[in-house]
A and B are shown apart, each in its own frame.
Chain A
Amino acid sequence: MPSSGRRSRHKSGRSLSRRRALTALLFVAPQVFGLVAFTAVPLVASLVYSFTHWDLVAPSPTFVGMDNWEALFTDDRVPTVLWNTVRFILVGTSTFLVFSLVAALLTFTPRRMVGLYRAAMFLPYVLSQIAVGVVWRWMFNSQSGPVTNIVELITGQSPDWLLDPATAMPSIAMVVTWQTIGYGMTLYIAALQGVPVSLLEASTIDGANRWQRFRHVTVPMISPTIFFLAVTSLIGAFQLFDPVVAMTGASVGSAGPASAGGPSNSTRTIVLYMYNQMFNYNERVSGLGYAAAIAWLLAILIFLVTVVQFIAGSRWVHYEGVSLSRGRRRTRGRR
């Protein structure tokens, strides 16, 4: 930003700066077109569709007023899919935030071999969620899956993991955590390396023990990263789809997304339900219109949760401290 001001100082003259602005508009033209054509217009169109019924067989959608939106509040599957998402968040997001911090604390000090440990921990993150899901589906297999065997060896008895409605969603959450720890760890490492040693030393002189240093110096200093990870992982959690399809898709017949979500709907997520309705034209309230309403509900929920997080975040996220980055980080916190 400062450079743009500087540039116009270099070259005075109205027509020149106008030409520069025109050039800039050409530079951003593809991105602007993309935003309008593939985000803004479809977002509004989606809202319009949510007031219609369309099964794609009829030549065009029929206007049905508030039917789809009313259905959102009377359809008893909606509370189920929302509750499933909450269950996923309770297990998944909390374990992700904690375990990736633990992984970062174990590996943030540069020393021998540490690069290898980090590389291993990051590896699952580059794999596809489908591949990971398929492997873990086997790990959880109730007859000979390694996880089942190990737990049985220790406790004498193992839950049915993906086959039991009580444990299926937490199991999926643990797998997603397993896959994403490397990502959280990477961001935490960058944050931990930014904690000034002088601050830690000062608190040691003041008589703080290890835990107190961690709690009162390290955590506040890395709180912007905790906050960022909490916001982005929650946004991601609301959109859970691929792992559910990989881990709960039927093992007979078609294994496609339509067969996933079991046992007893305990892993059916908002997005999976939207998918179901998008290609389901058998009910009065179904099809593209109802799917559009579900998608909008999802967008609204994400927006509300993010806003609440930003409000709550302003209480516990510390952007001051590192004076150099203060200005920039402040604006980041306000968004």
Chain B
Amino acid sequence: MANKRERLATVSYHSLMIVLTFAYIFPALWAVSMSLRTNENMFSASQLIPHPVTLEHYARLFEALPDLWRYFANTLVIAILGTAGTLFSSSLAGYALARFRFPGRGLLLITMLITLMVPVHATLIPQYVIFRELGWLNSPLPIIVPMLFGTPFATFFFRQYFLTLPAELEDAAAIDGAGPWRTFFTVMTPLSGPAHLALGLLTFVSLWNSYFVNSIYLARQDSWVLTQALQSMISRYQAQYGAIMAGVTLVSLPVLIAYLFFQRRIVHGISMTGLAN
């Protein structure tokens, strides 16, 4: 009897969850589906799984936006260099904040905390003026260069991670005669692989997806990133939903693949950010 009730509870739980999650990701499924439908079937409710499948919208997308590869390359350059720079500088700073005592340490921690509250907009205008003066507008530099010095968020993340590592390893390295630099690069950096991976993924994804800052600095069309191209499709394609959804799918595909492969890492990284803060 109890067993039967338990099974009923399990079945109803899973039925509920399957319906809920399906409804939840329905818009994403619907978008991909629309990108693969023929124009005649575009608004048919029975076409969740499109038949026949067509790639004409993707072809049209590349025809109408021949620079799509360029936007792809621009986005990739920003995301890769920005991520690499952040990981390098923030892991250095995070390590020092976790392990060393030095003058100004408390001040640095408090400044970083306050910085987390400062919206990018409040620093945007002077930066815009400087980067314009330097001739950096319409280039990825205004977005990449500030990230090369690390971000407070990433530094906190690394500090929190290094605090969880035992100090014995460094003591052993010190006994072997390794200085702090060698210890950091040959012992601690390899050990913090999980932190690099989690934070690297988070940073990469957020750079890949970002729009606001790009729309400020990258006004000329050949310097665009993908999100800007996607935004422009709203008016470029008006009612041609197949092409718009093809654009959405293409732009989302790299992060979706990263998510499928590294889902645990990304989710774990996210839950670590909650603790770190």
State the Cβ distance, B35 to closest chain A Cβ, in Å.
10
Docked-complex contact B101 and A8, CB < 8 angstroms: yes
Q: Name the contact of B100 in the complex, choosing from A24, A32, A41 (C-beta under 8 A).
A: A24
Q: Name the contact of B108 in the complex, choosing from A28, A241, A249 (C-beta under 8 A).
A: A28
> Chain A 92-111 against B: per-residue CB contact (8 Å), 1 yes, 0 no?
00000000000000110000
State the Cβ distance, A140 to closest chain B Cβ, in Å.
10
Docked-complex contact A128 and B211, CB < 8 angstroms: yes
Closest to B250 in A: A131
Q: Given that A7-B167, A117-B21 are known contacts, is A255 also in contact with B232, CB under 8 Å in the complex? A: yes
Docked-complex contact B123 and A42, CB < 8 angstroms: yes
Assembled-state Cα–Cα distance A8/B277 (Å)? 28
Q: Given that A130-B230, A144-B43 are known contacts, is A189 also in contact with B92, CB under 8 Å in the complex? A: no
Docked-complex contact A190 and B252, CB < 8 angstroms: no
Docked-complex contact A299 and B119, CB < 8 angstroms: yes
Whether A263 sits at the interface, judged by CB under 8 Å, is: no
Assembled-state Cα–Cα distance A246/B27 (Å)? 15
Docked-complex contact A135 and B231, CB < 8 angstroms: no
Closest to A20 in B: B100
Whether B64 sits at the interface, judged by CB under 8 Å, is: no
List residues of chain B with CB within 8 A of the CB of A183. 270
State the Cβ distance, A332 to closest chain B Cβ, in Å.
8
Closest to A274 in B: B121
Q: Name the contact of B122 in the complex, choosing from A24, A46, A106, A246 (C-beta under 8 A).
A: A46
Is the interface on chain A under 10, 10 to 19, 20 to 34, or 35 or more residues? 35 or more
Docked-complex contact A134 and B121, CB < 8 angstroms: no
Whether B251 sits at the interface, judged by CB under 8 Å, is: yes
Residue among A4, A291, A303 with the highest chain B CB neighbour number at 10 A: A4
Task: Give chain A interface residues in 8-43, CB to chain B under 8 Å.
Answer: 8, 10-11, 17, 20-25, 27-28, 30-35, 37-43
Whether B31 sits at the interface, judged by CB under 8 Å, is: yes
Assembled-state Cα–Cα distance A11/B205 (Å)? 43
Assembled-state Cα–Cα distance A231/B177 (Å)? 46
Docked-complex contact B28 and A123, CB < 8 angstroms: yes
Whether B72 sits at the interface, judged by CB under 8 Å, is: no
Assembled-state Cα–Cα distance A186/B271 (Å)? 6
Closest to B179 in A: A23
Docked-complex contact A126 and B231, CB < 8 angstroms: no
Docked-complex contact A249 and B231, CB < 8 angstroms: yes
Closest to B91 in A: A27
Beyond A31-B89, A186-B271, A255-B232, 13 additional contacts (C-beta under 8 Å) are A7-B170, A17-B101, A21-B103, A25-B96, A35-B112, A37-B146, A46-B125, A127-B256, A128-B227, A138-B244, A186-B270, A251-B235, A295-B121
- Taking beta carbons and an 8 Å cutoff, which residues of A are in contact with B? 1, 3-8, 10-11, 17, 20-25, 27-28, 30-35, 37-43, 45-46, 49, 56, 106-107, 113, 116-124, 126-131, 134-139, 144, 146, 149, 178, 183, 186-187, 189-190, 225, 228, 232, 235, 238-239, 241-242, 245-246, 249-257, 271, 274-275, 278, 288, 291-292, 295-296, 298-299, 302-303, 306, 332, 335
Top 10 closest A-B pairs, CB basis?
A34-B149, A128-B209, A24-B100, A27-B96, A31-B93, A45-B126, A42-B123, A255-B235, A24-B102, A30-B89
